[in-house]
Structure 1
Amino acid sequence: MSYPTPQLFYSSLLSIGLLIPLNLQAAITDITRIYKQTPTLKAFEICTGGGCAEIKQTSLADDEWKTITAIFENSNQHIDAQLERQHIADAIGMLEKIIGAKTATSTDRAGTFDNSKYPGQLDCNDEAINSTTYMRLMQQHGLIKLHQIEDMRTRSFFLFGWPHSTAVMHELATGERYAVDSWFYDNGYPATIVPFAVWKSGYFPADSPILKGRSDVK
């Protein structure tokens, strides 16, 4: 299976040198390879370190994947598109917990700034790539039925503020697009899924640590 190249995303990576030191930026060829990978439970790669500066190969055991499928199956409600989005959000959070323990990224904190002294950090580019990979695994295994995964997208491009990237999907029945953003909260929290137009306008959840701040930030 092949995937289209997310040109807007790559353009944004090339333009955010002041966000990510040049010596930490992964080669675009590596990012392309990871983004276009066909992930399997036995082997897939994730990005970390900011701008996919570090690439780690990992996998999911059968019992770990059952934890993900249970999110979609353990529901007494009729599965509509809204509920499927909630399941996707919860599953991404759970996958972050599982993969975080394997790749030393379980300590990832919300946001990018003020996190450099903490280990295991991901920026929004890492998050967008990894969330896209996680959703592809879900779709391959029939868990995502009512949505289609799209290319990642970036907002702002320095015109109205700092650039910020997200995974994207659309609802099959309506065509409405949604941002799937796991950058707003610490590792293991459900991803934030909102209409793409809302996200594009500069959306931030009011309770995100990025806005609220932390008592341990010095």
Structure 2
Amino acid sequence: MCVQMAWVQGARAQDAVVPVCFNYGCASQQDVQVGLKELERVRARLLMAGDAEAEREALADIVGQLYGLAGRQTPVNADRAGNYLDFAVEGRMDCIDHSTTTTRWLQLLVQHGMLRFHRVLEPARRTRWVLQHFGAVIEEIEPPPGLRPEPTVPDHVPLMLALCDCAEVLDDIPALPPLASSRPGERYVVDSWFVDNGEAAIVLPLANWLDGEGPNVQ
């Protein structure tokens, strides 16, 4: 199966080369060069994301932009949402092409240390009646320690600990509430098959996607 997580360093150290699948079932592949300026633009966009929800929103846009870049270097600029609007056109992409390539885009970001709130998993498959559909998957992780606020220690706690052996005073330190959108372990599908080349990918909770949610395209 053609869902390997592949990317390699480009001829120039600052660039990356990502193989893009097309013509259905990964029948064709062509390398796309992602230059330093593009990588730094992506990094800056992701650094603006202060939590997991914002990072997912950024990823939807970034995946679309990377496909737009691929469309300037390969025939995938002809790809349209679903399978029927571009049937038999050179550069068309089915869900195997998309899930494979989108996973590679995401792995590229991981390799460059750009993801702070998610990790990349193997593509998921859903089956409805006789139809199968594949999508790239990310999983939310605990946010980096530096992004969490430090607990506020009441003034009396250090004094009480110094005067007596009363560790129960530590209970007076208020617990930190979780980040508003923090749901470690929650999985999401990043599905670019639903949209035309260059448009933002659709990001859905995996459970909803498995239940058939997503734009009504064929």
What band does the TM-score fall into relative to the shorter chain? 0.7 to 0.9
Q: 1:172 to 1:56 in 2, by over 3 A?
A: same
Higher relative contact order by CA 8 Å / sep ≥ 6: 1 or 2? 2
How many pairs were matched up? 172
> Are 1:102 and 2:70 counterparts?
no
Corresponding residue number in structure 1 for 2:136:
167
Percent identity of the aligned residues?
31
| Greater radius of gyration (CA) | 2
Extract unaligned runs of 5+ from structure 1: 1-27, 212-218
1:1-218 pair list within 5 angstroms: 28=1, 31=2, 35-40=4-9, 41-73=15-47, 75=48, 79-156=50-127, 160-173=129-142, 174-205=184-215, 210=217
Q: In structure 2, what is the Cα distance between the partners aligned to 1:114 and 1:134?
A: 24
Q: How much is the aligned-residue C-alpha RMSD, in angstroms?
A: 1.8
Alignment-derived partner of residue 23 in structure 1: none
> Which sits farther off after the overlay, 195-204 or 64-73?
64-73
Superposition TM-score, scaled by structure 1 size: 0.73
Q: Is the 8 A contact 1:71 1:90 kept in 2?
A: no
Moved more, 141-150 or 59-68: 59-68
Unpaired stretches in structure 2, ≥5 consecutive residues: 10-14, 143-183
TM-score by length of 2: 0.73
CA deviations on 1:65-111 (whole Å, 9 max, x unpaired) are 233223224x3xx6100000111111100000111110121121000
